[in-house]
Amino acid sequence: MEKDKTMIRITIFFIWLAVLMPCISFGQMVIGDKTEMAALPGSILATSVNIINNGTKNDFTNLNIILLTPTKTPALIVNNTAQPISLNGLTINSTSTYGIGGEWLVLNDLIFTKGKLNADKAISGKLGYKGSADLVGSDSSYINGRLFIFGSGEPLRTFPIGNAKGYFPAQLTEIEVADKDTPIGMEVISGTNNPFTVAAPIKEIFTDHFWELTIGSGSFSGKSPISLSEAGTSSFFTTVGDIVVLEKDATKQNELGGIGNNTFITSSLGVSSTGKTYALAKSDVVTVKVHKLITPDDDKVNDVLVIDGIDAFADNEVTLLDRWGVPFKTWKGFVNYVQPAGSSQDVDFSKLGIGNYICVVRYTDKGVQKSIKQMISVLK
């Protein structure tokens, strides 16, 4: 008889969830470990309280949860089972903060009207998103912690993430992963453990926050540019120069360059497949300037061709033309000689006749092709 009563309770709860939607929950919602439930397509649950799921065979894939202002701060959404909860949609509409426990997967819609969602390691939260809509946030509405976005081939994906210091979104373009179900995770963390160091040609690093990128499974092509929010950086940087994206991979710190676009700085180069940590920095101003005079008299002054700043751009080509446009010498990856000349690229500049020459310099600066021409006088 008691078993029959239990089955009746389970059946009533199943009907309530699957048929009587939409509904609003005001009391703590606890789903028993032996309860099996499913939601009909379009089902809506508006709740402002804890959701505790002890079940392992519940199907919420048709359920849309709307998180309202909680009765206590912060409210905690708990998934006590090893089975992740998959939802059709999740909407945050709260003046307070929700926390997520266990693993949650949003299949279609993840909407921030207002309010914050904690999905960090402290409460063992993991939030994934499989929808295709662009995600947005603000200082009053974002995910505090790591957000995993699934799928590949999307032209642009936005991560509405932040931390206690504010909302600092990131974007990836031209995402390429091993398979469509590989999750790409992004998190903004405090700058207290900033792994970056100042190295030439970097002058300053925005240490208030930085971004961590992870691939949940499979592999990442490493061809995607990354865009980082420049919110707050203008008041921090004091040096003159371009804002660039820095990458810290397993072995070194890479400068990926940067191009401003609205409130984002987008890297000129793609991120590496091993790169995990990114930050904004101000690069030193490097000016490429060709010395206008060559006097090959072995006095260690102007004996050879000198180009200031060219050493900062390894991808370069330098051609020295005579007065008739005939190349005297072309260098791939030109480097300034230590005078007197002793490099493997050594050229006997004493063979140059007196007169005027044209030096053509082509180089790549943060992914942009640049060139300059300078007339040089040879005196003896």
- Asked if the model's pLDDT at residue 9 lies above 70, the reply is no
The answer to whether residue 17 scores a pLDDT higher than 60 is: no
Instruction: Quote the DSSP letter at residue 68.
Output: -
Provide the CATH topology of domain 289-378.
Immunoglobulin-like (2.60.40)
Residue 90 has pLDDT above 80, yes or no: yes
Q: What is the DSSP string of 293-362?
A: EE--SSSSSS-S--EETGGG-SSEEEEEE-TTS-EEEEEES--PPPSSP-STT---GGGSPSEEEEEEEE
Nearest to 119 by CA among 97, 150, 135: 97
Q: Which sequence spans correspond to the domains of the chain? A: 2-283, 289-378
pTM of the model: 0.72
Decide which of 206 and 30 is more confident. 206
Residue closest to 314 by CA, chosen among 255, 374, 373: 255
The whole-number pLDDT of residue 16 equals 42
The DSSP secondary structure of 148-184, one letter per residue, reads EE--S--SEEEE-EEETTEE--EEEES--BSSTT--E
pLDDT at 26: 57
Task: Give the chain's end-to-end CA distance (angstroms, integer).
Answer: 114
**pLDDT of 57:** 76
List, for residues 289-340, the tens digit of each pLDDT value. 999 999 988 887 888 899 988 877 888 999 999 989 999 999 998 988 765 4
Percent of the chain, pLDDT > 90?
29
pLDDT digits (tens, 9 = 90+) for 222-252: 788 999 998 877 778 888 888 999 999 877 8
CB under 8 Å to 208, separation ≥6 — which residues? 165, 191, 232, 236
Q: What is the per-residue pLDDT across 23-81, written as a single tens digit (0 to 9) for each?
A: 665 567 777 777 777 888 888 888 887 888 877 778 889 888 888 888 777 778 888 77
Three-state secondary structure readout of 188-227:
EEEHHHCCCCCCCCEEEECCCEEEEEEECCCCECCCCCEE
The reported pLDDT for the residue numbered 358 is 96
> CA–CA separation, 58 vs 35, rounded Å?
8
pLDDT at 344: 45
Nearest to 66 by CA among 49, 79, 80, 83: 49
How many Å apart are CA 247 and CA 282, to the nearest integer?
13
* Residue closest to 71 by CA, chosen among 25, 31, 111, 30: 25
What pLDDT, in 10s, does the model give residues 150-205?
876 666 888 999 988 889 999 988 888 877 788 899 999 887 778 888 887 888 99
**Burial of 263 per CB tally in 10 Å (0-12, 13-18, 19+):** exposed
Q: What is the pLDDT of residue 186?
A: 93
User: Rg for the chain (alpha carbons), in Å?
Assistant: 30
Non-local CB neighbours of 368 within 8 Å, separated by 6+ positions: 268
Instruction: Quote the percentage of the chain above a pLDDT of 70.
Output: 89
Q: What is the pLDDT of residue 283?
A: 87
Q: What is the pLDDT of residue 148?
A: 92
Q: Which helix (H) or strand (E) holds 121?
A: none
Read off the pLDDT band of 346 (50, 70, 90). low
